[in-house]
A = this chain, B = another copy of it.
Amino acid sequence: MRRGSNLPHVSSFNRAVVLEAIRHSGDGLTRAQLGRVTGLSAQTVSNVTRTLLDRHLVRETRVVAQEGRGRPGTALELDPAGGFAVGIHIDPSALGTAVVDLTGEVVVQNHGPLPSPTDPGALIEHLHHEVRRMVAEARVPSSRLLGIGVAAPGPIDDEAGSVSPPLLPDWGTVPLRPLLARATGVDVVLDKDVIAAAKAVLWTGDAPDRENFLVVYVGAGAAIIPVIRGQVFRGTSGNAGETMHLPGDPASGSPHRWTLGGCLGERELVAHAHRLGIDLPGAVGSWDPHVVSEGFSHLVGLAHDGQDRAVEVFDAAGRVLGTAALVVTELLDITAIVMTGPRWESMRPLCEPALLSVIDDHAVHGQPRPLTLHTSRLATCSGTVGAACLVLDRLFSPHHSRLLITQ
């Protein structure tokens, strides 16, 4: 049953609205400007900004001459040092870690291969030390450490905080969130990689439209997530974004099913190349993510060098991406697509022409519905930054649910 709203909840929501307006403004807003963009009264803006200043979340900067006859005002901007979050992105073959400040800017970061992919216990141990090291390096006072965000391959169990990544078959099910919280003594938020990447796009203002867009994530696997009314849609259990059953010819008795990950994953592209006669010794069929990743990098190199069959592998991948994007844009009537994920930068020049050829001149029932394609500037580290943004988002975003009375 839906809950009502009351004044304390409105105050907390308005704080988040003002903070978001300042965050998205680039170089700050005066109190008068904040009143205009949020619709809040001068008195409310004054109260809210006082609280934000007291909490060191914003700071006063330069004096700005107001438009018209208004008095000059002091611009407020985010205080980057007001809070810090740790982001951890676990990809089957890679590990990204970072400390970001309140603006979502990276203070320290580290990207490398995933240590001990077959031993989650050793990974937790490694992460514990890594978090300590980074927090010290970034000189984050412990009172300003807001939490740790983890972006992991799905599926996740939202309640248990566990993951069961199919590309790390030795893991089985690992209760990542409680294990890491216990090891570090810090609050941990866990979400799927694609959801974290979408939060990064949203938090850093890196989308052409802030209300409705799709995020297409290309990591060891691949996924599509919708951002709806300015919020990442997590689904009923936090596992939205799967594309397992994109159909072949469903009218036939035995539909040939394909999946986005099944056409675009590292393992699958390597397998496709092998079927076309490209020699990638060791990588084909391997379950060692580092071996697969090495084979994949070799394949990318061949395609960049113009090797015909390697080019065809990525051409086909681009068509798959375009077709999957069309299905989702039509279903949800969303016209902006943001590409991101650790593998997109290297695949982009190889896949984008075929992708664009599928989505260009898009029409529904003969009526044009043009789609825009945008590559996130965070492409490679969106999972890591997004993991940290899970923490910032939970604390500071003006979700409508914040307005509702909780149980």
Q: Known: A3-B38, A333-B240, A334-B235. Is A245-B323 also a contact (CB below 8 A)?
A: yes
Q: Known: A320-B250, A364-B244, A398-B2. Is A406-B331 also a contact (CB below 8 A)?
A: no
- Residue A238 is within 8 A (CB to CB) of chain B in the complex: yes
Q: Of A96-104, A175-183, A251-259, which stretch is located at the interface?
A: A251-259
Q: Which of A200-252 contact B (CB under 8 A)?
A: 211-212, 224, 226, 228, 230, 233-251
Judging by beta carbons under 8 Å apart, are B238 and A6 in contact? no
Dominant SS at the A interface? loop
| A313–chain B nearest beta-carbon distance, Å | 10
From B4, B263, B333, give the contact of A38 (CB < 8 A): B4
Report the separation of the CA atoms of residues A24 and B249 in the bound assembly, to the nearest whole angstrom: 42
| Residue from A20, A263, A331, A366 having most chain B Cβ neighbours under 10 A | A331
Complex interface: chain B residues within 8 A of A241 (CB): 331, 333
| A58–chain B nearest beta-carbon distance, Å | 16
Q: Of A7-15, A106-114, A343-351, which stretch is located at the interface?
A: A7-15
Complex interface: chain B residues within 8 A of A239 (CB): 333, 364, 369
Judging by beta carbons under 8 Å apart, are A250 and B37 in contact? no
Judging by beta carbons under 8 Å apart, are B7 and A13 in contact? no
Q: Of A39-47, A70-78, A131-139, which stretch is located at the interface?
A: A39-47
Chain B, residue nearest A16 (CB): B2
- Residue A154 is within 8 A (CB to CB) of chain B in the complex: yes
Judging by beta carbons under 8 Å apart, are B40 and A6 in contact? yes
Q: Known: A7-B10, A155-B365. Is A323-B1 also a contact (CB below 8 A)?
A: no
- Residue A69 is within 8 A (CB to CB) of chain B in the complex: no
**Other 17 A-B pairs with CB < 8 A, given A239-B333, A246-B246:** A2-B21, A2-B38, A4-B39, A4-B44, A5-B17, A10-B10, A39-B407, A155-B367, A236-B335, A243-B331, A244-B364, A247-B327, A250-B320, A250-B322, A251-B319, A328-B331, A400-B400
> Which A-B residue pairs are the 9 nearest by beta carbons?
A235-B333, A39-B405, A400-B400, A250-B323, A240-B333, A4-B40, A245-B326, A4-B38, A242-B330
Chain A residues near B (Cβ < 8 Å): 1-7, 10, 13-14, 17-18, 20-21, 24, 37-41, 44, 154-155, 164, 166, 211-212, 224, 226, 228, 230, 233-251, 255-256, 258, 263, 316, 319-320, 322-324, 326-328, 330-335, 358, 364-367, 369, 398, 400, 403-407
10 interchain pairs, CB-CB under 8 A: A2-B38, A39-B407, A155-B367, A166-B366, A242-B331, A245-B326, A246-B247, A247-B327, A251-B258, A403-B403
